[in-house]
Amino acid sequence: MKESKKKIKVAFIGAGFMADAHLQAFADIENVSLAGITSRTLKKAEDLSEKYGIKHVYNSIDEMYNSTKADLVVISVNELALYKICLESFKFPWKLLVEKPVGYNYEEAQLISALALNTRAQVFIALNRRHYSSTKNVIAELRDDYGQRVVQVFDQENPAVAKEAGTPQKVVDNWMYANSIHLIDYFNVFCRGKITGVQNLIRLNNDSPFFLLSKLSFSSGDIGLYQAIWEGPGPWAVNITTQLNLWELRPLEKVTKQTYKSRVKEDIAVDQWDITFKPGIRCQAQQAVNAVLGIEHTLPTLEDGLRLMSMIKNIYEV
C-alpha cells in the first residue's frame, strides 16, 4: 500500500458551525476515517455523527483518544473554552488542527504556546483564508514578480453586533483577536521577510472606536498598510500591488488582476473546492492529511499563530 493511501483517523472536538464545515471537507477525502467526535453539547455531536456517519460519539477527550488512537484531532470550540480543551488534548500524541484564534488574547496565546512546548504537542492553526484559491493564485503569480510589494488590508468590524448576538463580553473586548485576525494574517501571507516595525498612524479610540490606520515595515522592503473601520460600513478587501501588477481580493474569496498601463480588471477563476465547500476548508483538510503523512504541506504552526497574535497586539496596542 502506498503511503498516500494510508487510512488517516480524524477525530473532532466541538460540534458547531465550523466543526460541520471541517467534517464536510474531511469526509470528502478518500483515505480519511471520521473516527469520533465529542462536544460540550452531546446532542449536537450526535446530530453531526448521524449526518456524516461518524463511528462514535464520546463523553470526553480522554475517552475519544484512548478508543480511537486518532492521528489528527480538529478543535473547533469557542474562544473562552479553548485553553481548557488544549490542556486536555495536548497530552495525547495526535497532531492537532486548532481553529483560530488560539487564545482569546495575546496573553492566553502565550500560555497555550508554552503548554504546547512543554507537552511537545504538534499544533497547526486553521487559518482557512490562507487556503482560498484566490490567495493561492496570487501567491503563484507573485513568484515571477520580484519587485517591492505594497499590501493594503481593509478591515471592518462590528463588535457591538457581536455582543447583541450573545458573544461573551470578554471576547467582545478582544474582538481584534477574534475577528481582525482574518484580515491581519494576509500580511504574513503576502509580505516577505520579518516585520521590522509597526507605525500606528491613527490609533483606535477605545471610547468611541471608528478608524485605525497602521503601517507595517518588513525586512524585504515590502510595506503593509492596515485600515480598519469599526462600527461603520466597509467590506473586507486586500490589495497586493507591485510595479507591474495589482491583485484585488474583494470579496476575499475572489481575485481580479490589473496589469500596469491597463484599466481592465481580469477575473481569475475560483477553484471548485471553494464553491462546493466553505472556502479554503477542503484544501486545508488535505494539507492536514499531508501533515499527518509527513509530506509537504502549507499549514501554519502554533509558532506562526503566536507571531500573528503579536502583530495584532502591536497594531491595536492591547
Contacts of 199 (CB under 8 A, 6+ apart): 214, 215, 216, 217
Indicate the pLDDT class of residue 3, thresholds 50, 70 and 90.
Answer: very low
Q: What domains lie within the chain, and their CATH numbers?
A: 3-129 (3.40.50.720), 130-271+301-316 (3.30.360.10)
Q: Look at residue 2 and tell me whether its pLDDT is greater than 60.
A: no
Q: Look at residue 79 and tell me whether its pLDDT is greater than 90.
A: yes
Determine the distance from the C-alpha atom of residue 127 to the mean position of all C-alpha atoms in its chain, rounded to a whole number.
2
Q: Average pLDDT in the 68-90 region?
A: 98
Please give the C-alpha separations between residue 111 and each of 69, 101, 123, 142, in angstroms, as whole numbers.
26, 13, 14, 36
Q: What Rg, from alpha-carbon coordinates, does the chain have? A: 20
Cell of 73: 484531532
Q: Look at residue 62 and tell me whether its pLDDT is greater than 60.
A: yes
Indicate the pLDDT class of residue 239, thresholds 50, 70 and 90.
Answer: very high
- The pLDDT value recorded for residue 284 is 98
pLDDT single digits (tens) 161-187: 999 999 999 999 999 999 999 999 999
- The pLDDT value recorded for residue 48 is 98
Would the pTM of this model clear 0.85, i.e. be above it?
yes
pLDDT single digits (tens) 118-156: 999 999 999 999 999 999 999 999 999 999 999 999 999
Q: Look at residue 31 and tell me whether its pLDDT is greater than 60.
A: yes
Q: Look at residue 1 and tell me whether its pLDDT is greater than 60.
A: no
Q: Average pLDDT in the 96-105 region?
A: 97
Which bin fits 207, alpha (ψ -120 to 50), beta or left (φ > 0)? alpha
Indicate the pLDDT class of residue 206, thresholds 50, 70 and 90.
Answer: confident
Indicate the pLDDT class of residue 221, thresholds 50, 70 and 90.
Answer: very high
Determine the distance from the C-alpha atom of residue 261 to the mean position of all C-alpha atoms in its chain, rounded to a whole number.
35
DSSP H/E element including 66? helix 61-68
Burial class (CB in 10 A: 0-12, 13-18, 19+), 85: buried
Report which of residues 3 and 91 the model is more confident about.
Answer: 91
Are the C-beta atoms of 212 and 204 separated by less than 8 Å?
yes
Cα 281 to Cα 266: distance, rounded to the nearest angstrom: 25
Cα 312 to Cα 304: distance, rounded to the nearest angstrom: 13
Are the C-beta atoms of 99 and 75 separated by less than 8 Å?
yes
Chain mean pLDDT for the chain? 96
Cα 224 to Cα 296: distance, rounded to the nearest angstrom: 28
Indicate the pLDDT class of residue 315, thresholds 50, 70 and 90.
Answer: very high
Cell of 249: 481580493
Lowest mean pLDDT among 3-12, 129-138, 206-215: 3-12
Cell of 147: 519587485
Cα 35 to Cα 82: distance, rounded to the nearest angstrom: 21
- The pLDDT value recorded for residue 55 is 84
Helices 133-142 and 181-190, packing angle to 10 deg: 20
- Concatenated DSSP letters for 103-115? SSSHHHHHHHHHH
- The pLDDT value recorded for residue 314 is 98
pLDDT single digits (tens) 274-308: 999 999 999 999 999 999 999 999 999 999 999 99
